[in-house]
Amino acid sequence: MKETHVTIKDIAKKAEVSVATVSYVINNTRYVSPEKIERVNQAIKDLNYVPNAVARGLRFRQSKIIGLTITDITNPFYPELAKACETEALINGYTLILINTNDDRERTAIATSYLREGRIDGLIITTALEHDRSIIEKMIEENYPIVLVHRTLDNIQVDTVLSDNAYGSSRATKHLIDLGHRRICFMGGVDGSTVGNERVMVFQQTMREHGLPVMEEWNLRGEVGYKKSYEDTKRLMNLSNDVRPTAIINISDIGALGVIDAALEMGMRIPEDLAVIGFDDVFITSTKMVGLTTVHIPSYELGRVGTKILIDRINKKELNHYQNVTLPVKLMVRGTCGYRNQKGNKM
């Protein structure tokens, strides 16, 4: 559409100086006489000139853009994280490219190819799954700036910013156990995610430590959205009263909402008939109308710190040790589990 950009040459011509001089006044990088500075600035104003970022990018071999892969921006866990990345990037003179992967390997490949093409200077990956390992490892090996946020890969040497999944999972499980639950189900999310793996593992461990059974057939993994959780719950709640779970922990708040909706639809009451805990602490579930008990994941902080580390990595050529940050999480007790009152009576 736009066909005639005004370039540094036009400014040089109009101000009757060389392009070098123009560049010097723009970047303030060598002494230029006051009257020429004036002429150049005038020409810039007159012609409404802005230096071309692509040409600059070619010269400096950098785009000043960073990429962010997320599973799906439509899952309310991610917007906050994305916003943090964008804000932190902007502060440092970078802009952010958004890549929804839907946990698809092909999409991860596209994202990393942006790095090779020089389209982005660094990549924040929140979507690392075991099936992406080879792609990611190769990029790290070739020294491209990458940081893994939220999800990581076992035994990988790279910067990571994670949340304390082990604590979160054990805390949630214990909360339920304290409330008297013995048949607890954990809906663990996509396969190959360290987030799911760790939370499920610690859940099972905690159950065993308390002498409680881990039901093999309740070990539900795979895509966990609202729909899947809703369906799984319907199935589970059809089990007879003395066998079915009295509590469900879901790996995400949105999944937990599916659980609740299914139970509600079957005429069950929350928390009396079924206790529910989520993960994430997405804004919406914190409202009084929903009031979901959940494990707060510091999504903003995850994004902010991840972006900061990435940009450091891009700029400081050599940083010989990787940074591995783990952020604290917190159980937010609200209405979907019931609670014991002061005197120890369950309500």
* Positions in the binding site for a copy of itself (CB under 8 A): 1-3, 5, 48, 50-55, 57-58, 61, 63, 65, 72-74, 76, 78-80, 82-83, 86-87, 90, 95-100, 110, 113-114, 116-119, 122, 142-145, 226, 254, 257, 260-261, 264-265, 283-284, 287-290, 313-314, 317
As beta bridge partners, residue 186 has 249
* Using rule CB under 7 A, residue 192 touches DNA: no
Q: Which stretch binds DNA (CB under 7 A): 47-55, 149-157, 227-235, 301-309?
A: 47-55
H helix runs in 316-345, sequence order: none
Burial class (CB in 10 A: 0-12, 13-18, 19+), 347: exposed
Count of alpha carbons within 13 angstroms of residue 118, beta-carbon side: 10
Whether the CB-CB separation of 206 and 164 falls below 8 Å is answered with no
* Using rule CB under 7 A, residue 48 touches DNA: no
* Using rule CB under 7 A, residue 319 touches DNA: no
Q: Which stretch binds DNA (CB under 7 A): 44-52, 96-104, 264-272, 295-303?
A: 44-52
- Residue 144 or residue 279: which is nearer to a copy of itself going by CB? 144
* Residue 307: contacted member of a copy of itself, DNA, none (CB under 5 to 8 Å, by partner type): none
* Residue 293: contacted member of a copy of itself, DNA, none (CB under 5 to 8 Å, by partner type): none
E strands along 213-316, which residues? 247-250, 275-280, 293-296
Q: Cβ atoms within 10 A of the Cβ of 41, count?
A: 15
Q: Which residues contact 251 (CB under 8 A, 6 or more apart)?
A: 186, 187, 188, 189, 195, 196, 199, 224, 279
Whether the CB-CB separation of 179 and 341 falls below 8 Å is answered with no
Q: Return the residues of window 54-83 that contact DNA according to CB under 7 A.
A: 55-56, 58-61
Positions that interact with DNA (CB under 7 A): 5, 7-9, 16-21, 23-24, 26-27, 29-33, 35-36, 49-52, 55-56, 58-61
